[in-house]
Amino acid sequence: MTPDTAAPVEANHAHGVWQPAERVEELACRLVRLASETGTPGEAAFARQLVALLSEIPYFRDNPDDIRLVEGLEGTPARNVVAVVRGAGRKALLLTGHYDTVSVENYHDLKDLSREPYELRTALLADLERPNLTLQEERAKTDLASGDFLPGRGMLDMKSGLAAGVAVLEQFAARSERTGNLVLCCSPDEERDSRGMRALRDSLPELMADMGLDPAGAINMDVTSDQGDGSEGRAVFAGTIGKLMPFALVVGRSSHASYPYEGVSAQMIAAEIVRRIEANPDLSDRGGDAVSPPPICLEARDLRDVYEVTTPERTWLAFNWLYHSQDPEDLFASFVGQVKAAAQASLARLADNARRFYALSGSAAGPEPADMPILSYADLKAEAARQLGDRFQNALMAKQAALEGVDNPMTVSRELVIWLVDRARLSGPVIVTGFASLHYPSTRLDRNHAHDTALETAISAVMATRQHDPSRRLIWRPHFEGISDMSFFGSMEGRSSALVARNTPPGWLIDQPNPKSLRCPMVNIGPWGREFHQRFERVYAPYAFDELPRILAEISDLFLADG
């Protein structure tokens, strides 16, 4: 579509007279003031507070049954909020987002102001008057002093996005005539295991049928980072990146520190694994038209809890591994290949060091270390079952029950693997590999589906109206690079991996979607800012409060125009 033919979009839909900025800013600040850290009572209470806020809108005062609460998966008391503004026809567009936030602890002395955006901005600027600021602090000071950026826990990630969605819903509801249906979905637990969105996905077929709606598209309103002028942040993401978290439990053979060549240090092997994998761009997924960020180590632990002059026997590693075109089988094969190469290189180096030491000292040489087998978690589990026989299943269930109160997936995975190593009577050197956290599949628009094409067409038409103004121009980007709820919505193809299911220790980390889940294309269009999850988390207000809601409203109108 040419700019000339796309130009009437705003005029035709009367968004030229809608001035959302003040309302969206007010809503964003109200939402930020409501505590909703993941896994806290604030998160559990937030749904009811959001319902109260939505109920102030005249449409919902008149139609209270158009707001529904949907329970999260087992393990979270927080609930999803689904609010529908009805128009003619059954076709529906969903605006989605999460309301939980990360902890406020990294605000330190300003923790009590972390949910008061204006007071926090003043306090941060006062703190930044000190000398010898880092470049990051200088940037934050400039941004906050400009008045264009507003800080606060969750202001960027992602309550300003939710505020834009509420305002668009409110604007749609204020019309006397409406075509199509607009649905706002707000979920908890995105910052941990997406138990809100996964429950919503499973409940949506029955809920939408009950409400007489046919979801045809969805826009997630999550945040992106832009360290420049916003030209990268003003983006439409055609899909989301995927994530797996492969682990390696390195089991060495301990020895006295004075006789290191009599054993195999688990730390030595683990260090080589990290060296080979950490931030290695050669391991980035480079399929199609994108490059995923490289893998990084999220956890490295020596599993001893006492002091002794002995080389470490067990070391645990877990990696954040992002992808967009690979499948889990290929990714895992790449990981295991790196682990195997690291083990071989480490043992070869240890043997060479031993030979040189014995030559220097004149000592008698000991036996060189043997090869280091690599087992999958499924292999380990099978060996433990063989060792325990009929007692295995009950013993495993008892161990899992003992870990039910632990909410850290890596901790649960690590403890189960260690327990199985002991039950399998596994002695080193050996390495166990598997997956330590929930699998987040990659998704993307698929032009082979009519709804995907229709959503892309509506978005492209709205983008065309802004192409001649560099300060408003939107760009397509292939994948949202932050882990998000988008992984559990939209396209249902390629969601299941038997390999991942077999090699993920806790059963509750294996996603089991409703086989009747709806196929609904989803993109991400949200606010941009800087340093989310950090002390200087801040949103670029002119875009988040003014431009973003206009964009969402225009896309909604075009997409729903045929009812």
Which positions ≥6 away from 161 have C-beta within 8 Å? 97, 221, 222, 223, 526, 527, 544, 548
CA dihedral 512, 515, 516, 520 (to 10 degrees): 70
Residue 493: per-residue pLDDT:
54
pLDDT greater at residue 11 or residue 235: 235
Phi, psi of 385 (to 5 degrees): -65, -40
Could you give the CA distance from residue 15 to residue 551 in angstroms, rounded to a whole number?
Answer: 9
Residue 367: per-residue pLDDT:
79
For the residues 337-353, what does the mean pLDDT come to? Answer: 95
Residue 16: per-residue pLDDT:
52
Query: Is beta strand 430-435 parallel, antiparallel or unpaired with respect to 239-240?
Result: unpaired
pLDDT greater at residue 14 or residue 185: 185
pLDDT, tens only, 66-100: 999 999 998 789 999 999 999 999 999 999 999 99
Query: Is beta strand 475-477 parallel, antiparallel or unpaired with respect to 239-240?
Result: unpaired
Which positions ≥6 away from 151 have C-beta within 8 Å? 117, 120, 121, 124, 144, 536, 537, 538
DSSP conformational letter for 7: T
Answer yes or no: is pLDDT of 9 > 60.
no
Contact 96, 219 (CB under 8 A): yes
Give residue 7's pLDDT band: very low, low, confident or very high (50, 70, 90).
very low
**Token digits for 489?**
């919505």
- What distances in angstroms separate CA 508 from CA 298, 415, 417, one per listed residue? 20, 15, 15
Could you give the CA distance from residue 272 to residue 189 in angstroms, rounded to a whole number?
Answer: 35
* Average pLDDT over all residues of the chain: 93
Could you give the CA distance from residue 445 to residue 440 in angstroms, rounded to a whole number?
Answer: 16
Annotate 290-327 with three-state secondary structure.
CCCCCCEEEEEEECCCCCCCECCCEEEEEEEEEECCCC
DSSP string for residues in 537-562: -EEEHIIIIIIHHHHHHHHHHHHHTT
For the residues 226-239, what does the mean pLDDT come to? Answer: 95
Give residue 391's pLDDT band: very low, low, confident or very high (50, 70, 90).
very high
Helix (H) or strand (E) holding 432: strand 430-435
CA dihedral 202, 197, 43, 62 (to 10 degrees): -70
**Token digits for 177?**
């005539």
Residue that the structure tokens 């749904």 belong to: 47
Contact 533, 114 (CB under 8 A): no
Helix (H) or strand (E) holding 438: none
Residue 305: per-residue pLDDT:
84
- What distances in angstroms separate CA 533 from CA 11, 94, 157, 180, one per listed residue? 38, 26, 8, 36
Q: Alpha helices of 96-213 — where are they, by DSSP H?
A: 117-127, 135-146, 160-173, 195-210
CA dihedral 308, 310, 311, 315 (to 10 degrees): -40
Query: Is beta strand 179-187 parallel, antiparallel or unpaired with respect to 88-98?
Result: parallel
Residue 501: per-residue pLDDT:
95
Answer yes or no: is pLDDT of 3 > 50.
no
Answer yes or no: is pLDDT of 1 > 50.
no
Answer yes or no: is pLDDT of 499 > 90.
yes
Could you give the CA distance from residue 198 to residue 512 in angstroms, rounded to a whole number?
Answer: 9
Least confident range of 415-419, 440-444, 486-490: 486-490
Could you give the CA distance from residue 510 to residue 217 in angstroms, rounded to a whole number?
Answer: 26
Residue 2: per-residue pLDDT:
33
Peptide bond into 429 cis (omega under 30): yes
For the residues 376-395, what does the mean pLDDT come to? Answer: 97
Could you give the CA distance from residue 403 to residue 420 in angstroms, rounded to a whole number?
Answer: 14
Query: Is beta strand 528-530 parallel, antiparallel or unpaired with respect to 88-98?
Result: unpaired
- What distances in angstroms separate CA 158 from CA 36, 161, 164, 245, 544, one per listed residue? 11, 5, 10, 24, 10
Residue 33: per-residue pLDDT:
98
Contact 51, 67 (CB under 8 A): yes
**Token digits for 216?**
């045809």
In one-letter notation, the amino acid at residue 23 is: R
Could you give the CA distance from residue 432 to residue 315 in angstroms, rounded to a whole number?
Answer: 11
Domains of the chain: 3-241+441-493+521-560 (3.40.630.10), 246-435 (3.30.70.360)
Could you give the CA distance from residue 55 to residue 61 in angstroms, rounded to a whole number?
Answer: 5
Could you give the CA distance from residue 432 to residue 249 in angstroms, rounded to a whole number?
Answer: 5
Helix (H) or strand (E) holding 315: strand 314-323
Could you give the CA distance from residue 163 to residue 155 in angstroms, rounded to a whole number?
Answer: 10
Residue 454: per-residue pLDDT:
97
